[in-house]
Amino acid sequence: MKTLFTKPIVIQLLPSSLLLGLLLVVATISSMILLTAPIIMLIKLSGFALIVASSAYFIARDALLLLPWSWKKIEINTKGVLTLVNNRQQRINPLLSTATFVHEYCVILNLKRQSFNFTLPPVLLFKNTDKQDELRRLRIWLRMVKNKTNEQAHLPTYQALAADD
């Protein structure tokens, strides 16, 4: 495998107050909508309990990074191999999903294990991080990888069309 970078990309993930605020706003609005709806009180309270429980879980996992399976670090070595480290110090080399989202202000890494069909928890990165240069290099790497996988995904289709001519 050829070398893609002169130095590896390493991003240490920190708790995100922006994501915490977004999750709290969404949970509050959805709770208010549910509680004002004209439905049976038992259903309202059950839905409210589900909203509170799921919000608490996602805030602890993604915004505050408190759970053992919360991501702690993203590493991409000089050969372009992605490695994620969680709070248990487990190192995982995942595959990027095609649903990975790359934007200047937000990067969402949707991942899956190489040996399973199950997805891994996503990694959410916002522009307000300390390492702007590392985040920029990560976005460039993601665009390179997405273009490469798109070309490979369409390659059999193009070969089939060329064979028909």
Note whether residue 111 is domain-resident.
yes
Give the residue numbers spanning the domain of 149: 9-157
Is the pLDDT score of 155 beyond 90?
A: no
Higher pLDDT, 142 or 5: 142
Note whether residue 85 is domain-resident.
yes
Note whether residue 62 is domain-resident.
yes
Q: What percent of the chain has pLDDT over 70?
A: 87
Is the pLDDT score of 152 beyond 80?
A: no
The per-residue pLDDT for 163 is: 43
And the tokens for 25? 């706003």
Note whether residue 71 is domain-resident.
yes
Note whether residue 1 is domain-resident.
no
- State which H helix or E strand residue 21 sits in: helix 17-36
Note whether residue 55 is domain-resident.
yes
Looking at 10-14, 29-33, 51-55, 157-161, which range is the least confident one?
Answer: 157-161
Mean pLDDT of the chain: 86
Distance CA 74, CA 83 (A): 6
Note whether residue 164 is domain-resident.
no
**Cα three-residue angle 93-96-99, rounded to 5 degrees:** 155
Is the pLDDT score of 164 beyond 60?
A: no
pLDDT bucket at 66, cuts 50 / 70 / 90: very high
pLDDT bucket at 59, cuts 50 / 70 / 90: very high
pLDDT bucket at 151, cuts 50 / 70 / 90: low
Distance CA 44, CA 27 (A): 14
Total number of domains in the chain = 1
Distance CA 17, CA 142 (A): 25
| Close Cβ partners of 49 (under 8 Å, ≥ 6 residues apart) | none
Mean pLDDT for 131-150 is 83
Note whether residue 4 is domain-resident.
no
| 161 alpha carbon, distance to own chain's centre | 35
